[in-house]
Each structure stands twice: as C-alpha cells, then as structure tokens.
Amino acid sequence: MLELYGVTRSRASRIVWLCHELGLPFRQIPVIQAYRLPDPTAADAPLNTLSPEFLALSPAGAIPVIRDGDLVLMESLACNLHIARHHGGALGPADAAQDALMQQWSLYGATAIEPDALTILYLHKPGQAQPGAAQAQVANAAERLIRPLRVIDQQLALHGHMVADRFTVADINMAEIIRYAQSHHELMSQFPAVLSWLERCQSRDAFRKMWQERLAEPE
C-alpha cells in the first residue's frame, strides 16, 4: 500500500486529493512541520520534519514524502506525477507526449506561479488592516502573477483543462498551486477561464473529501 508522510495541511493535500480521485488506498503517517512545534527536538515531540526517522526518508526535512514499494520520493508534484503515471488511469498520461505536457504544466506552476501565490496566501488578508510593507509585497506578487495566469487562462479557455482536454493530474497540481492566490479577488477576476475551471476542480467530490480532512486537522 502507498505510504504518505505528511499532514494534509501541507502540500500533501495534492497527493491526498489525487488518491481520493483514484480510489487508491494509502496509509498516511502524519508528519507535522517542525516550525509549528514549540520544541520539535523534545523527547515527547510528535513525529515532525526534524525527527531523525523522518530525515532518514527526506534529507531536506520537508513534507510530503511517499513510499511506493521500494521507491521513496520527495516533492509533491513529482509524487503526483509518479502516482498518475503508475496508478492514474484516465488521470494519468496516455502517451509520452501527454506525460511531457503534464510535467511541463506542473513545473510551470511551481516556478512561475507558486512563489508569488504563496506570498498572497501568507500576507493578503481581505478585510483586515495590513502593514504597508505587506501590502507592497502583495501588490508586487499580484503584478508578477498577471503574465503566468494569463497563460493558464488562455490554455483553459481553449481546452477546458491543462492537458488532453480532460481532467488529469495536471489539473490537480495546477489547481492546488493557484489556490494559494485565490483570496486575491481583484487579481483573479482578470482570468474568467481560470476561475471557472478552479470552481469545477474544487467542486469535485475528491477535493471536498480532502478539504474536510484538512480542516479536521489542528491548525
């Protein structure tokens, strides 16, 4: 059985969502981020990203990690691409070209969108007063996101999905990245195809199941 190391309040959410879509059984070992603990090295600390037994799996000390048979794999996007390739059926690639495109869009999301989207996630608090420095960082991040989100919007307007005109792992990977910027309504309103697609993705039963599990975890 596939093993997943990491709490769902992390990038492990991408893997949990995919496994629920596939009906793929998995065992989740709840490794928590060390920064969320007062003393992650204490003898009674829960399993966390600085625990020696976890560092033996992930020298980077980062979740999630999967174990699939003899394969131990870090990096959530790589994990999802592997799972889709070997277990994914209709959510995986049908040929080498589709496989390459799924990698392309996943890497584009990670490099061109995720860093600035995370800035928005952490600093943009609609309806709350924010320091000027935070406002400036959010404004700069939103400005940088216009170009890559326009690329995604054009792709979705033409095809409805990221790859192969059907829902695949590439949609899961990209949707979980763009979700970080979802609260910035002024930015997102410029990309109607992205908004419509994101709503469809997050309306899926597997996403909703993952999200309820995520919300049930301690903050």
| Residue 44 structure tokens | 């009674």
Q: What is the pTM of this model?
A: 0.94
Collect the ranges in the chain with pLDDT lower than 70: 126-129, 131
Q: How many residues does the chain have?
A: 219
Q: What is the largest CA-CA distance in the chain?
A: 55
Residue-level pLDDT at 125: 76
Report all structural domains of the chain as residue ranges with CATH numbers, in order of start: 2-90+208-216 (3.40.30.10), 94-204 (1.20.1050.10)
Query: In DSSP terms, which residues pair with 78 in a beta bridge?
Result: none
State the Cα–Cα distance between residues 55 and 48, nearest whole angstrom: 9
Amino acid identity for residue 119 in this structure:
T
State the Cα–Cα distance between residues 67 and 57, nearest whole angstrom: 9
Residue-level pLDDT at 132: 77
Give tens-digit pLDDT for 72-120.
999 999 999 999 999 989 999 999 999 999 999 999 999 999 999 999 9
| Residue 125 structure tokens | 């608090």
Residue-level pLDDT at 88: 85
Q: Are 64 and 12 in contact (CB under 8 A)?
A: yes
